[in-house]
Amino acid sequence: MEIGVDSFASAMYGSKELSGVDAMEQLLDRIAHADEVGLDVFGIGEHHKKEFLDSATAVILAAAAARTKNIKLTSAVTVLSAADPVRVYQSFATLDLISKGRAEMVVGRGSSIEAYPLFGFNLDDYDALFKEKLDLLLKVRDNEFVTWSGKFRAPLNNRPIYPRALQQKLPIWLGVGGTPESFARAGTLGLPLMVAVIGGETHRFRPLIDLYREAGKRAGFTPDQLTVGLHSPGYVGATNERAIADYYPGYAELWTKLGRERGWPPVTRPQFDQLVAPKGVLVVGGPEQVAEKLLRHSEALGGVDRFTFQMDNAGLTHAQLMSSIELIGKKVMPLVNSK
């Protein structure tokens, strides 16, 4: 199992608001540290809100590429529906050249919708935009000269797209939430699947992942071509008790705030305890407990090829995040991969 971290480049952690300069410097330090301790992948999300600095994902990843040697660098996710697929490919192909072949992207429709009005797109076209733009992105990825036409963008008539990525087939993952059609689409296209599980119990996603695998099989893809990744909130502390004590206050504050915006009830401690229980979604605990949970999740879902922690949205300090990254690299990964 590949293991890594996803970040939304938050400027609001450690119980205070940082300057953009300081928050970005600390984020790049964390990515460099993740590389040093052997994590497999680091992802940067995409938002267009005051509290996040990740609106230009590829720029952050390019800066990280200059400070790292081995770690894969990916988006988490690129809101493809509100972007130009040609420019998305060019940005990540450039990142691939800078990083010497370590670039990837996860594309999706986005759970936050602020990008749509910002770039002049209609939310009524939410799925149609994504379907069309994914088709174009894959054609651009696979062909130097592209002929294509669609509804939402000007056509291309045998146009060359440069630069080309160093990797012959730049990895493009499909980021999904809980929509069956999205799982089936990823399987039909043979794309690696990144499942965002942020609430409830992870094993409940097994029918959807089975749907992905079944759709891929019908489309002629072999099991080893159908890669499954899992993205969930998580944090590793020195002990189980320490991790929970560090994580709960900020987590409860954030998700209660989001709840007011989206109509969810406030977070309570009994709810949190269910989420950190063996079948719950939150991967929070000491190294041994976290390793056991990752293996349990993988078994419940029929095999997980990649897991990424989302850590910087729970009021944790830079020092706590750095410590957690070190524990993941030096303690959790050896425990998981020795099984």
The region that residue 280 occupies, defined by phi over 0 for left and psi between -120 and 50 for alpha, beta otherwise, is beta
What residue numbers bound the domain in which 201 lies? Answer: 2-337
Residue 178 has pLDDT above 90, yes or no: no
Residue 258 predicted with pLDDT over 60: yes
What pLDDT is attached to residue 173? 98
Q: Which of 21, 18, 23, 82 lies closest to 48, judged by CA? A: 82
Element (H, E) at 300: helix 287-300
pTM of the predicted structure, to 2 decimals: 0.95
Q: Who's near 154: CB < 8 A, 6+ residues apart?
A: none
CATH number of the domain that 234 lies in?
A: 3.20.20.30
* CA distances from residue 49 to 22, 56, 99, 109, 120 in whole angstroms, order as listed: 18, 12, 28, 16, 16
* Number of domains observed in the structure of the chain: 1
Give the pLDDT confidence score for residue 13 in this predicted structure. 61
Task: Report, as an integer, the average pLDDT of 235-251.
Answer: 95
Predicted local distance difference test score (pLDDT) of residue 261: 76
Residue 14: pLDDT band (50, 70, 90) is low
Asked if 193 and 212 count as a contact pair (C-beta separation under 8 A), the reply is yes
pLDDT of residue 15: 54
3-state secondary structure of 296: helix
Using the predicted structure, report yes or no on whether residue 199 has a pLDDT greater than 90.
no
- pLDDT tens-digit map of 40-89: 999 999 999 888 999 999 999 999 999 999 999 999 999 999 999 999 99
pLDDT tens, position by position, 259-311: 787 787 888 999 999 999 999 999 999 999 999 999 999 999 999 999 999 99
CB-based contacts of 299, cutoff 8 Å, min separation 6:
none
H helices present in 146-264, as ranges: 180-189, 206-218, 240-262
Query: 299: buried, middle or exposed (CB in 10 Å: 19+, 13-18, 0-12)?
Result: exposed
Collapsed DSSP state (helix, strand, coil) of residue 106: strand
- Looking at residue 16, its pLDDT comes to 66
Provide the pLDDT for residue 113.
83
Token couple for 97? 């050249």
Of 10-14, 26-30, 162-166, 275-279, the poorest mean pLDDT is in 10-14
* Mean pLDDT score across all residues of the chain: 94
pLDDT classification of 129: cutoffs 50, 70, 90? very high
Q: How many CA within 13 A on the CB side of residue 64?
A: 34
332 pLDDT more than 70: yes
What single letter denotes the amino acid at residue 66? Answer: A
End-to-end CA distance of the chain: 10
CA-based torsion, 233, 235, 239, 245: positive or negative: negative
At what angle are helices 318-327 and 20-36 packed, to 10 degrees? 10
Please report where in the chains the tokens 């799982």 appear, as a residue: 183
What does the pLDDT read at residue 193? 98
Name which residue leads in pLDDT, 97 or 260. Answer: 97
Q: Are strands 16-17 and 193-196 parallel, antiparallel or unpaired?
A: unpaired
Neighbours of 338 (CB within 10 A): 7
Angle at 304 between CA 300 and CA 305, to 5 degrees: 170
Contacts of 197 (CB under 8 A, 6+ apart): 205, 230, 231, 232, 281
- Report residue 115: phi and psi, to 5°: -70, -30
Query: What's the pLDDT at 257?
Result: 80
**Band of the pLDDT at 110, cuts 50, 70, 90?**
confident
Question: Count of CB atoms within 10 A of residue 125's CB?
Answer: 15
